Amino acid sequence: MITIVDYGMGNLRSVEKALEKVGAKVTVSRDPDDVRRAERIVLPGVGAFGDAMHNLEKRGLVEVIKAEVAAGKPFLGICLGLDLLFEESDEHGVHAGLGLLPGRVELLPTELKIPQIGWNQVAIRKESKLLEGIPDGSSFYFVHSYAVVPELESDILCTTEYGCTFVSAVERGNIAAFQFHPEKSSSLGLTILENFAK
């Protein structure tokens, strides 16, 4: 069973429907016990970093997520769910994140329009089972103003160009996360979700 973490921010239904479409058994829950029982965890999200961390803490989900990920449970972050993995964000002040990966979240350093909304290509930086069947240079759907800056080069899975080069996906062990929305990215996005479900 895949548990999608409901902390009051994000397009839960579209992620749930996309995972169901690739044959996964899915539940959406804000109950820490459901996250403990899950075989895999998905943390989606749309909105502000500080609000997201506040909501996770209020629902008793921060320590549960950290513990389950530390125990080796497969974890997938989507959009804000990627940002939250890192130590801190400077979105509307400085806020502490989950700290599962070293690094921070910063405003996209670009002269181009922010937020970036629409399709953009990803350059694959290392091999990953999650990207099986995904050609290098494939396009996915983005909606974001901030980007992660990992401390470790080895955590970078994909990069993307948008007036600058930014990190659009990370992976380390059982942790993976994407800045783009696989659930809104047509058949290639579904391929990523199917790879995660398997």
Quote the pLDDT of residue 45.
Answer: 87
Inform me whether the pLDDT recorded for 37 exceeds 90: yes
**Residues with active-site annotation:** 79, 181, 183
**At residue 145, what is the residue type?**
S
Joined together, the tokens standing for residue 143 give: 């909606």
Inform me whether the pLDDT recorded for 8 exceeds 90: no
DSSP string, the chain: -EEEE-SS-S-HHHHHHHHHHTT--EEEE--HHHHHH-SEEEE---S-HHHHHHHHHHTT-HHHHHHHHHTT--EEEETHHHHTTEEEE-TTS-EE---SEEEEEEE---SS-SSEEEEEE-EE-S--GGGTT--TT-EEEEEESEEEEES-GGGEEEEEESSSEEEEEEEETTEEEESS-GGGSHHHHHHHHHHHH-
In a 13 Å sphere around the CA of 95, the CA atoms on its Cβ side amount to 20
Quote the pLDDT of residue 97.
Answer: 96
Inform me whether the pLDDT recorded for 96 exceeds 90: yes
Quote the pLDDT of residue 120.
Answer: 98
Quote the pLDDT of residue 24.
Answer: 96
Q: Which of the four pLDDT bands, split at 50, 70 and 90, describes residue 186?
A: very high
- On whether the pTM is more than 0.85, the answer is yes
| Domains by residue range for the chain, with CATH | 2-197 (3.40.50.880)
Quote the pLDDT of residue 136.
Answer: 98
Residue of 127, 83, 125 lying closest to 105 (CA atoms): 83
Quote the pLDDT of residue 117.
Answer: 96
Residue of 23, 69, 17 lying closest to 43 (CA atoms): 69
Read off the pLDDT of each residue in 165-194 and give the average, rounded to a whole number.
97
Quote the pLDDT of residue 191.
Answer: 98
Write out pLDDT tens, residues 44-77: 988 899 999 999 999 999 999 999 999 999 999 9
Inform me whether the pLDDT recorded for 111 exceeds 90: no
Quote the pLDDT of residue 137.
Answer: 98
